[in-house]
Amino acid sequence: FKDVLLLEEDLPHVRAAAKVCVDQLEKDVGALRNGLREVSRELDYHATLQVPAQPNDAFVPVMREFHAHAVCSFTQLEDLFQVSN
């Protein structure tokens, strides 16, 4: 395993690239949270429209499924972020 000892020499920029800015991560997590809220509001708006934009328009059901999956993924991400802090 002598080659492993030289790994840092082979990849000199990895250490600097691996550094994480917690403040930026907090901003990014907040932006994701706000974006998901906006998607929810937009879906609520479209769901209240009496007439769909097109016949057989599947926008709301498809986006609701996407939103539910995104919220689940975001919750997992947020939990990991909280644990790491």
pLDDT tens-place string over residues 37-77? 999 999 999 889 877 667 788 889 999 999 999 999 999 99
Helix or strand or coil: residue 38? helix
User: Burial code of 35-65, b = ≥16 C-beta within 10 A, e = fewer?
Assistant: ebeebeeebeeeeeeeeeeeeeeeebeebee
Helix or strand or coil: residue 1? coil
Query: pTM value?
Result: 0.72
